[in-house]
Amino acid sequence: MRKFSLSCLVSVIPFFLSGCAADTDISGYQKPMRELNRTESYEQVRARFVVYDPIEGTNRSVYKFNAKFDKYVFIPIVDAYDFVIPDYVDRRFANFFSNLGEFQNATNSALQAKPDKTATAVGRFAINSTVGLLGLYDPASSMGLSQHKEDFGQTLGYWGVEPGAYLVLPILGPSNVRDTVGMAVDMLAFSVIVPDKISDEAAYKIVQYGLKPIHTRANNSFRYHTTGSPFEYEIVRSVTSEGRRLAVEN
């Protein structure tokens, strides 16, 4: 009987040892061998990659949804689009949408008090809409007027609005609070200037809400989970946030 209780006690000791505070983190999991606070250097590396992301759990769920949507819906459509639409036609679409985007570039350049960039956008629109056959061709670029993209998120950033929390939007993907508001404002402004006669046309709806997203996805080479990194969420978050920071600066 005594022997039993002794061996029982001995077998229980390591259990207590491994269960004591020094070996578990605040959430109750066993501490790994290498951990964040062992040296300060990890904190610095962490600070370089980490973006303000208070609703990370939700964002990660949306990221997973987007990856699945991409795989089962978007990419099959894009592949069919690539197969059916010749590159030449795709480039015409690219120019057409890009020409319509000059409205957004012009207004936002003006809102950022950048007269030369506003003039460029207006000039490009004038040339490409006429000589460029309603924007299907881009003679303005050949004439030395290269495009400078601006949106309302950049305008807000220019006037000092911080990006705010990182957001993963359903289907649309990585963004932040500031740029999400910016995108909504840009879309609203665009819908206001397009005459109802045009925006009510079925052809317009097909182009704007069907063709444009497919074309945009087809021209973005990113494919979910092909990076081979278990940290893909963090890398996409860091790279897109950095990209927007630079876009605001330029």
Partner 1 sequence: MHIARSITQGIKFSPAIVLMAGLLIGCTGTPPPSAQSFVRAEPVYDYPVDNAYAATIIGTPAEMKIRYERGKEPVERKLVVFPDRKIPEGFWYYDALNYGEMLQKQPAPLVYIIGGTGSGYKSRYTMALAKALFESGHHVVLLPSPTHSNFIVTASGNFFPGRGDTDARDLYRVINLIHDGLQRRIEITTTGLTGYSLGGWHAAFVSHLDAQEQHIGFDKVLLINPPLSLYSSIQRLDAMLYADLPGGIEDLGVFLNRAITRISHMGQETDALDFSNENFFFDTYQRLKPSNESMATTIGLTFRVAAANMIFTSDVMSKSGYIYPKDKPYLSTTSLNDYLAVSIGTGLTDYFQDIYKDHYLAAQPNLTADALIAQSSLAILQNWIAGNDRIGLLTNRDDIILASGELQMLERLFAGKAYIFPTGGHLGNVEHPAFAQRVTDFFEGRR
Angle, CA of 230, 247 and 154, to the nearest 5°: 110
Binding of partner 1 at residue 31 (CB under 8 A)? yes
Distance CA 218, CA 6 (A): 70
Distance CA 13, CA 105 (A): 69
User: Which is closer to partner 1, CB of 23 or CB of 162?
Assistant: 23
Task: Using CB under 8 A, count the residues that bind partner 1.
Answer: 51
User: Which is closer to partner 1, CB of 144 or CB of 195?
Assistant: 144
User: Least Å distance between CB 62 and partner 1?
Assistant: 10
Residues 201-220 interacting with partner 1 (rule: CB under 8 A): 220
| Residue 140 CB neighbours (<10 A) | 25
Give phi and psi for 173, each to the nearest 5: 90, -155
Residue 46 Ramachandran class (φ > 0 left, ψ -120 to 50 alpha, else beta):
alpha
User: Least Å distance between CB 77 and partner 1?
Assistant: 18
**Can you tell me which of 14, 160, 170, 230 binds partner 1, judged by CB under 8 A?**
230
Q: Of 170, 134, 154, 125, nearest to 244 (Cα)?
A: 154
Distances (CA, A) of 229 to 3, 41, 59, 65, 232: 52, 22, 18, 18, 5
Binding of partner 1 at residue 234 (CB under 8 A)? yes
Residues 36-95 interacting with partner 1 (rule: CB under 8 A): 36, 39-50, 56-57, 60-61, 63-64, 67
**Can you tell me which of 16, 22, 30, 170 binds partner 1, judged by CB under 8 A?**
30
User: Which is closer to partner 1, CB of 153 or CB of 208?
Assistant: 153
Q: Give me the residues that bind partner 1 (CB under 8 A), please.
A: 25, 27, 29-36, 39-50, 56-57, 60-61, 63-64, 67, 146-148, 220-222, 224-231, 233-235, 239, 242, 246, 249-250
